[in-house]
Amino acid sequence: MGPKSIEVKPISGALGAEIEGVDLSKDLSNETFDAIHQAFLDHVVIFFRDQHISHDQHKAFGRRFGTLNIHPYVKGMDGHPEIMQIVKEPEDRINFGGGWHSDMSFLEEPALGSILYAKEVPPYGGDTLWANQYLAYETLSDGMKTMLEGLKAVHTAKGEYSERGHSAQKRSSMQVATAGDDTPSYEHPVVRTHPETGRKALYVNPAFTEKFVGMTRRESRPLLNFLFEHCTQEPFTCRFRWTKHAIAFWDNRAAQHFALNDYHGHRRHMERVTVDGDRPF
């Protein structure tokens, strides 16, 4: 048990917990930090409500977990390149993150996780969903697990961040660069072992996974489509209703997420700090 002041309250059967009794604007004791870290590993995504943090405090919390990422395509804040502002203006049609994905799986060392802070939320809508990829792996048949063991897949930003890609679409308050033909691809295991928990998780996602290594795209497509559909089934998910000044921190090594785009005509403004991870194994 951690400090008595911290309460960890699961929000669904699959993953996700709200943490009460923590003020992230204050210096966290090692004991409190360890309790938060354990809840993060246990529940895959953790939430805090009513947090009033500065940009420096946001970054400092992230740095307790690792170095901070500067996104290769999305321009960070002036003076705070590690903070990405995710803004949808009332007139914007397309939101950012509006499809199932695992952040930055197109890098050689994908993100450990992201810490998303709500600055302005619409009166309704704009929820985020997460899907537990440990459960996605564990519910596969033994035959499927055996087949996937040792398989690798190609991950790239080419699709999402190309000129026609969802993530590269013009938005009035975000500067996003497009990924060119020279965009690198990286090979990651289809089943990854979490470096801290030792548990196995499915590690493919529809945004950035192109094909299996050693196979054509056409050959890869049926099995990838099955896995994409399998790994985001309703029983593996939780859904978070944002409130102003809420924070979500998810473990990118064991979750995918999806930002709903159901609040047209309203503004939504979030700030994201992303913690660097390591090479999947």
Exposure string (b/e) for 185-206, b if CB count within 10 Å is 16 or more? ebebbbbbebeeeeebbbbbbb
Q: Which of 101, 188, 192, 253 is catalytic?
A: 101
Q: Is 107 exposed, middle or buried (0-12, 13-18, 19+ CB in 10 A)?
A: buried
Nearest to 256 by CA among 135, 149, 82, 168: 135
Q: Which of 43, 253, 272, 276 is catalytic?
A: 272
pLDDT tens digits in sequence order for the chain, 281 residues long: 444 679 999 999 999 999 999 999 999 999 999 999 999 999 999 999 999 999 999 999 999 999 999 998 899 999 999 999 999 999 999 999 999 999 999 999 999 999 999 999 999 999 999 999 999 999 999 999 999 999 999 999 888 877 777 776 777 787 888 877 778 899 999 999 999 999 999 999 999 999 999 999 999 999 999 999 999 999 999 999 999 999 999 999 999 999 999 999 999 999 999 999 999 99
Question: Annotated catalytic, 199?
Answer: no
Question: Annotated catalytic, 101?
Answer: yes
Q: Which of 43, 71, 194, 257 is catalytic?
A: 257
Torsion of CA 136, 223, 143, 112, to 10 degrees: -40
Question: Annotated catalytic, 262?
Answer: no
Instruction: Output the pTM of the full model.
Output: 0.94
Question: Annotated catalytic, 268?
Answer: no
